[in-house]
Amino acid sequence: MIRYFAALVLVAILALPEANAKRVIDSEYYPCHEMYIQYGTPSVLELATTLTKGFKSVNAGVTGNFGNYKFSGIPAIGYNYSFSEKVSGGIYAGFGYTSADLFLLSDKSGPFKNPVKVCRVKVMSYTAQLMGQFVYWTYGALECSGAIYLGVSYMDEELSDVNSSLSESPKINDRAEVSYHLTAIKVRYGETIGVFAELGFGFRGLVNVGLSIKI
C-alpha cells in the first residue's frame, strides 16, 4: 500500500508544472472544491485509548503489558469546501489497524517471574470527522494552514491466540468514541494539483502526507 501511495505522489509531483500552468487566478476567483488522499503515521493516542482501557477495566488488580506491535498507519480520504480564500470546511474518513501481544506481569497473588502471554489483540479503527481549516500564509503556490477535526471513531477489537490455561482473559470491547485532531501546521505546494505534509496531534496520526486536487 505504501509503495502504491508513494508512486501516486511522484506522478502528482511530475504533473504539477503542467497542471498549475493552466490555472488563472485573480482577486475574484479561488478554487472552492478540494479532494485529497493521504497517509498518516500510527496515532499513539488512538493506540493507547484502544488497547489499554478494556484490559484494565476487566482485570482489576492485575497488571499487564503489550509488546510486538504492528501498525498499518492511517490511510484516508477527504473533501474540503472553501467559503473564502482563507476559510474552508469539510469531511474526513480514515482507517487504522493495530495489533499487539498482551502479557500478564502479575496477578492478585503477586508478580510473575516471567511475563505470561495472554492473547493477541487486534484493533481496526474507522474514523469520520468534520473539519475546519484556516489558511494563515500563502506565497505563490505555497500555502500554510491549520485545522481542527471533530468526529467519531469506531473501534472493532478481535482476540486471537488466547491462552486457555488462564482463569481470566480480556473481553472484546467494540465501541464508538469521540475523536478529535488538531493540525498545527499543514504545508501544501501546488495550485490545481498539490502535494502536502502536516504535523498534528490526535486520531489522524502525528505526521500526514498526501496529494490533493483543487477545482
pLDDT > 90? residue 121: no
pLDDT for 43 equals 76
pLDDT > 70? residue 126: yes
pLDDT for 206 equals 86
As beta bridge partners, residue 205 has none
DSSP string, 68-123: EEEE--EEEEEEEEESSSSEEEEEEEEEEEEEEEEEEEEETTEEEEEEEEEEEEEE
Q: Using alpha carbons only, give the angle 57, 102, 203 rounded to the nearest 5 degrees.
A: 70
pLDDT > 50? residue 27: no
3-state DSSP assignment of residue 56? helix
Element of type H or E holding 205: none
pLDDT digits 0-9 by tens, 28-42 = 557 889 999 999 988
Q: How far apart are CA 134 and CA 140, in angstroms?
A: 17
Better-scored residue on pLDDT, 55 or 198: 198
What is the share, in percent, of the chain residues with pLDDT greater than 70? 75
Give the pLDDT band (50/70/90) at residue 70: confident
> How does strand 110-139 pair with strand 87-107?
antiparallel
pLDDT digits 0-9 by tens, 96-109 = 888 888 888 777 77
pLDDT > 60? residue 55: no
Distance of CA 17 to the CA centre of its chain: 30
Better-scored residue on pLDDT, 199 or 168: 199
Give the pLDDT band (50/70/90) at residue 7: low
pLDDT for 3 equals 56
Q: How far apart are CA 11 and CA 21, in angstroms?
A: 16
Q: How far apart are CA 98 and CA 153, in angstroms?
A: 14
pLDDT digits 0-9 by tens, 146-194 = 999 999 999 898 988 888 877 666 778 888 989 999 999 999 999 899 9
Could you tell me the three cell numbers for 122? 487486534
Q: Which domains does the chain have, with CATH numbers?
A: 2-214 (2.40.160.20)
